[in-house]
Amino acid sequence: MFKINCLNPIAKIGLDNFSEEYAITDNYEEADAVLVRSASVHELDLPDSLQAIARAGAGVNNIPIDKCAEKGIVVFNTPGANANGVKELVLTGLFLASRDIIGGVNWVNSVKDDPDVAKLVEKNKAKYAGIEISGKKLGVIGLGAIGVLVANAAMKLGMEVYGYDPFISVRSAWHLSKYIKPSKSLAEIYKECDFISIHVPLSDATQGMLNEEAFKMMKNGVRILNFSRDSLVNEEDMIAALKVGKVFKYVTDFPTPKMAPLNEVVAIPHLGASTCESEDNCAVMAVSQLMDYLENGTIRNSVNYPDCDNGYPDNAGRLAIHHKNIPNMIGQFTSALAQENINISDMINKSKGQYAYTLVDIEIPSTPEIKQKIKAIEGVYRVRIVK
Ligand SMILES: NC(=O)c1ccc[n+]([C@@H]2O[C@H](COP(=O)([O-])OP(=O)(O)OC[C@H]3O[C@@H](n4cnc5c(N)ncnc54)[C@H](O)[C@@H]3O)[C@@H](O)[C@H]2O)c1
Ligand SMILES: O=C(O)[C@H](O)COP(=O)(O)O
C-alpha cells in the first residue's frame, strides 16, 4: 500500500485514478509520495518514507530539488498541462494592459447609483481610453509550453511577435509559428517591443532579470506582463519605472504588498492555472507519473532525475538505484550482485547533470540484504525495491 499526502487540494479526477493499492493520508510524515501545487516544501523536513514529489503544475521553485535528489526523492512536474489556461489569462492581460479597463470598471461601480450614470460615462470615458494590440510589437521571453502558445495566439490577434529563448527545445521550435521573429538578444526585445511577456522559470539565473538596466533599454510606456513568478522582476526598479511612466502598466499574476496597491499595476490572484481544465490535466498527469514511478520505477518528467523507462517489471526482481553521476557506479553494482551469485536479466542507466538512476532487473526477487549491499556503495543515495 502506497501512502499519498496532498499538500494542496488536487483535482478529484486525478486522485480517482489511484488504484486500491493507494491510500490518501493527512500525515505528511508517513507519506511515500506527495502531491503539491504551490505550497512550499522548503520549510518541511523530508521524511525517510518519502520517495517522490509530484508538482501538479509547472514551476518547481517551491521545492528543494537538489536536496530531494540527494535523498533519492524524485521530483516531477507536469509540463504543458496548464499552458493553455495560462495562455488565455495572458491574452486577457494584453487587453487589460492596452486600456484602463479595470480602472474604468471600478469608476463605473463608484457612480452606478447616479441617475445620470450614462451622461457621466460619456463625459469621463476618455480617462480610460488606450491603444489597440493589433499592429503592436510583443516580446515573449521564454518559448516553452506557455511562451509558444502566447506568441502564436498574439500573432493571430495581429501583433508583431518577437521571441527570445536561448535554450528553446526542439518540441517548442516545432510548435512556434514561422511568423514569430527570433530575437538573438534580450536587448532586441527590450528596444523593439511595446508589450513584453515573460515566461521563464524562476532560478538563480533569472531572478530579478527585469531590472533597472533592462527598463533603461525599453521604450517609454512599455507594458509588461508577468505570469511566471514575482521575483523575476526587481520590485524597487519596477516601482521606479512605473512612477516615471517608463512602464505604463504592469500586469502580474503574483501580487506583492508593494505592487498590489499601485494604480499602474493590474494584480491578478495567481489564476493562470486555476481553470477546471488545467487543474484536471495537471492532476491526471501528476498521478499517472507517480503511479508509474512507484509501481515500475519509471521516471517521466522529473526535474531532478533523468527520464528512465524499462517498462513493466516482468523479471523476478527490480531494484531502483539513485546515485551520483560518477565513473564506475555500474561496475560496482554488477560486482555486488555477482558476489551474491545473482544474475542480471536487464539493466538501464540514465543520468541528468550530477544525478543518475539505474534500474536493475534480477532473476530472483529483491531482498533487504541485496538492497543494503548496494546502498553501502559510496555515491548511492537510495536503493528501492520495486519488486
Ligand atoms: N501563473 C501561473 O499560474 C503559471 C502557470 C504555469 C507556469 N507558470 C510559470 O511559468 C513558467 C514557464 O512555464 P512553462 O510551462 O512555459 O515552462 P517551460 O519549461 O515549458 O518553458 C520555460 C522556457 O523558458 C526558457 N528559459 C529558461 N531560462 C531562460 C532565459 N534566461 N531566457 C529566456 N528563456 C529562458 C526555457 O528554455 C523554456 O523554453 C513556470 O516556470 C512557472 O514559473 C505560471
Ligand atoms: O507553476 C505553475 O504551474 C503555476 O504557478 C500554477 O500554480 P498553482 O498550481 O498553485 O495554481
Give residue-wise pLDDT tens across range 117-137.
999 999 999 999 999 999 999
Mean pLDDT of the residues in the chain: 98
Is the ipTM value over 0.95, yes or no?
A: yes
Mutate which of 35, 38, 282, 303 for ligand 2 pocket (most atoms within 8 A of beta carbon): 38
Measure the CA–CA gap between 190 and 5, rounded to whole angstroms: 44
Sign, CA dihedral 89-92-94-98, equals negative
State the ligand closest to the CA atom of 84: 1
pLDDT at 156: 98
Mutate which of 152, 200, 231 for ligand 1 pocket (most atoms within 8 A of beta carbon): 200
* Ligand 2 atom at minimum distance from 253 CA: 5
Query: Into which CATH architecture does domain 312-387 fall?
Result: 2-Layer Sandwich (3.30)
* Ligand 2 atom at minimum distance from 270 CA: 11
* Ligand 2 atom at minimum distance from 229 CA: 5
Mutate which of 228, 229, 253, 303 for ligand 1 pocket (most atoms within 8 A of beta carbon): 228
Q: Crossing angle for the helix pair 83-98 and 145-156, nearest 10 degrees?
A: 50
310-330: average pLDDT: 97
pLDDT at 177: 98
CA-closest residue to ligand 1 atom 23: 144
Measure the CA–CA gap between 82 and 61, rounded to whole angstroms: 16
pLDDT at 36: 98
Question: Which candidate, 333, 331, 380, places its Cα nearest to that of 361?
Answer: 333
Confidence category of residue 336, pLDDT binned at 50, 70, 90: very high
CATH 3.40.50.720 for domain 83-100+130-267, yes or no, is: yes
Which three three-digit cell numbers place residue 101?
479597463
Q: What's the whole-model pTM score?
A: 0.96
190-207: average pLDDT: 98
Structural contact between residues 234 and 212, judged by C-beta atoms closer than 8 angstroms = yes
204-213: average pLDDT: 98
* Ligand 2 atom at minimum distance from 271 CA: 11
pLDDT at 138: 98
Centroid of ligand 2 to alpha carbon of 55 (angstroms): 9
CA-closest residue to ligand 1 atom 9: 228
Measure the CA–CA gap between 233 and 207, rounded to whole angstroms: 7
85-110: average pLDDT: 98
* Ligand 1 atom at minimum distance from 60 CA: 41
CA-closest residue to ligand 2 atom 1: 59
User: Domain residues of the chain, as ranges?
Assistant: 1-82+273-305, 83-100+130-267, 312-387
For residue 373, what is the DSSP state? Answer: H
pLDDT at 258: 97
pLDDT at 297: 98
**Do the domains spanning 1-82+273-305 and 83-100+130-267 agree at the CATH topology level?**
yes
φ and ψ at 12, to 5 degrees? -60, -40
Centroid of ligand 2 to alpha carbon of 258 (angstroms): 22
Q: How far is CA 289 from the centre of its chain?
A: 15
167-188: average pLDDT: 98
Confidence category of residue 53, pLDDT binned at 50, 70, 90: very high
Centroid of ligand 2 to alpha carbon of 149 (angstroms): 17
Structural contact between residues 227 and 199, judged by C-beta atoms closer than 8 angstroms = yes
Which CATH code for domain 1-82+273-305?
3.40.50.720
pLDDT at 358: 98
* Ligand 1 atom at minimum distance from 227 CA: 1
State the ligand closest to the CA atom of 282: 2
Q: Ligand 1: which residues within 6 Å by Cβ?
A: 57-59, 79, 82-83, 86, 141-147, 164-169, 172, 199-202, 205-206, 227-229, 253, 270, 272-273
State the ligand closest to the CA atom of 229: 1
pLDDT at 148: 98
Confidence category of residue 216, pLDDT binned at 50, 70, 90: very high
pLDDT at 35: 99
* Ligand 1 atom at minimum distance from 80 CA: 15
Structural contact between residues 155 and 180, judged by C-beta atoms closer than 8 angstroms = yes
107-114: average pLDDT: 98
